[in-house]
Structure 1
Amino acid sequence: MSTAVELQELLTDGEEINIVCHDNPDPDCLASALALGRIAADAGIDERHILYSGTITHQQNRAFVNLLDIDIQSFDPAAVEDRPADSLLAFVDHSIPGENNQVSPGTPVDIVIDHHPAEEVEARFVDRREELGAAATILAEYVRALDIEVDSTLATALMIAIRSDTIDFLRGATRAEYEAAGFLQEDVDEEMIRQISSPSVSGATLDAISTAIDNRMTRGAILISHVGRTSERDSLPQAVDYLARLEGVQTAIVFGIVEDTIHVSARSPDPRVHVGNLLRDAFEDVGSGGGHHDVAGGQIPLGIFADYTTDDEQLLDIVERVITDRLSVELNISEDEET
Structure 2
Amino acid sequence: MPSLPNRATASSAEVPALNPEGDLIGAKGHCEAPERMQAYFETLESARGCRQLVVIKGHPDPDSIASALAQRYLGRFFDIESTIVYFDEISHPENRALVKALEADLRQYREDMDLGAFDYMSFVDTQSPHLPVRVAKLPPILTFVDHHKMLGGFEAEFVDIREDCGATSSIYAEYMEHSAHGLRHGSAELSRLATALMHGIRSDTDNLLLAQPIDYRAGAYVRQYIDQDLLRLVSKQSITARTMDIIQRGLNNKVIKGTFLLAGVGFVREEDRDGIAQTADFLMRHEGVETAMVFGIVNGDVVDGSLRTSSATIDPDAWLKALFGADSAGRHYGGGRRNKGGFRIPLGLFARCRDREALWGIGKKTIEDLVFEKIGVEQAQHEKG
Query: Partner of 1:295 in structure 2?
Result: 340
The size of the alignment, in residue pairs, is 328
Mark the CA change 1:44 to 1:106 in structure 2 (over 3 Å): closer, same or farther.
closer
2:124 to 89, 92, 98: 92
Query: How far apart are 1:176 and its partner, in Å?
Result: 1.0
Conserved? CA contact 1:251–1:270, under 8 Å: yes
CA deviations 1:264-291 (Å, max 9, x no partner) are 1001110111122121122224561101
Deviation at 1:102, TM superposition (A): 4.3
1:62 to 2:96 alignment: yes
5+ residue gaps, structure 2: 1-33, 184-189, 379-385
**Secondary structure of the structure 1 residue equivalent to 2:156:** coil
Q: What TM-score do you get using the length of structure 2 for normalisation?
A: 0.80
Equivalent position SS for 2:122: strand
Which letter maps to 1:153?
Answer: R
Post-superposition shift, 1:229? 0.9
- Listed as ranges, the gaps of 5+ residues in structure 1 are 335-339
1:3 offset after TM fit, Å? Answer: 2.2
Question: 164, 168, 171: which is aligned to 2:207?
Answer: 168
1:279 corresponds to: 320
Between 1:279-288 and 1:61-70, the stretch displaced more is 279-288
Q: Deviations over 1:165-196 (max 9, x none)?
A: 0011101x111111111111111111111111
Distance apart, 1:242 and its partner CA: 0.2
Which of 111, 117, 121 is the matching residue for 2:143? 111
- Do 1:276 and 1:291's aligned partners in 2 also have CA atoms closer than 8 Å? yes
Corresponding letter in the other structure for 1:93: D
User: What is the aligned partner in structure 2 of residue 11 from structure 1?
Assistant: 44
Normalised to the residue count of structure 1, the TM-score between the two structures is: 0.90
From 141, 163, 171, the equivalent of 1:138 is 171
Read off the aligned partner of 1:51 and give its amino acid letter.
Answer: V
Given that residues 124 and 145 in structure 2 are in contact (C-alpha distance below 8 angstroms), is that contact kept between their aligned partners in structure 1?
A: yes
2:169–2:201 Cα contact (<8 Å) kept: yes
| Range with bigger deviation, 1-10 or 183-192 | 1-10
Residue pair 2:55, 2:123 contacting (<8 A) in 1 also: yes
Q: 1:263 Cα shift?
A: 0.7
* Alpha-carbon contact 2:116-2:137 (below 8 Å) kept: no
1:179-198 equivalences in 2 (<5 Å): 179-198=217-236
C-alpha displacement at 1:22, in angstroms?
A: 1.6
**CA distance 1:199–1:181, change in 2 (3 Å):** same
Residues 181, 49 of structure 1: CA spacing in aligned structure 2 closer, same or farther, 3 A cutoff?
same
Counterpart of 1:254 in structure 2: which amino acid? Answer: V
Is the partner of 2:141 in helix, strand or coil? coil
Q: Which amino acid aligns with 2:178?
A: A
Structure 2 distance, partners of 1:103, 1:277, is: 28
SS at structure 2 position matched to 1:48? strand
Q: Which residue of 2 aligns with 1:253?
A: 293
Query: Please, which of 303, 326, 337 is the counterpart of residue 262 of structure 1?
Result: 303
Shift of 1:103: 6.9
Per mean C-alpha deviation after superposition, the further-off stretch among 194-203 and 176-185 is: 194-203
CA distance 1:7–1:252, change in 2 (3 Å):
same
Task: State the Cα distance separating 1:304 from its structure 2 match.
Answer: 5.2
Which whole-Å deviations, capped at 9, do the CAs of 1:65-100 have from their partners, x for residues lacking one? Answer: 11111110012477575245xx1101100131337x
Moved over 6 A (4+): 103-106
Q: Measure the CA separation in 1 of the matches of 2:146 and 2:136.
A: 18
Q: Which has the larger radius of gyration?
A: 2
Q: Secondary structure at the match of 2:79?
A: coil
Q: 1:143 to 1:215 in 2, by over 3 A?
A: same
Kindly tell me: are residues 271 and 106 of structure 1, through their superposed partners in 2, closer, same or farther at Cα, counting changes over 3 Å? farther
What is the CA-CA distance between 1:122 and the residue it aligns to?
2.7
Kindly indicate whether the alpha-carbon contact (under 8 Å) linking 2:306 and 2:342 is maintained by their aligned counterparts in 1: yes
Change (3 A) 1:104 1:208: farther
CA distance in 2, matches of 1:312, 1:175: 48
What amino acid is the match of 1:300?
Answer: I
2:364 is the counterpart of 1:326: no
> Counterpart of 1:201 in 2: which secondary structure?
coil
Q: Which amino acid aligns with 1:244?
A: M
Cα pair distance change 1:67/1:146, threshold 3 Å: same
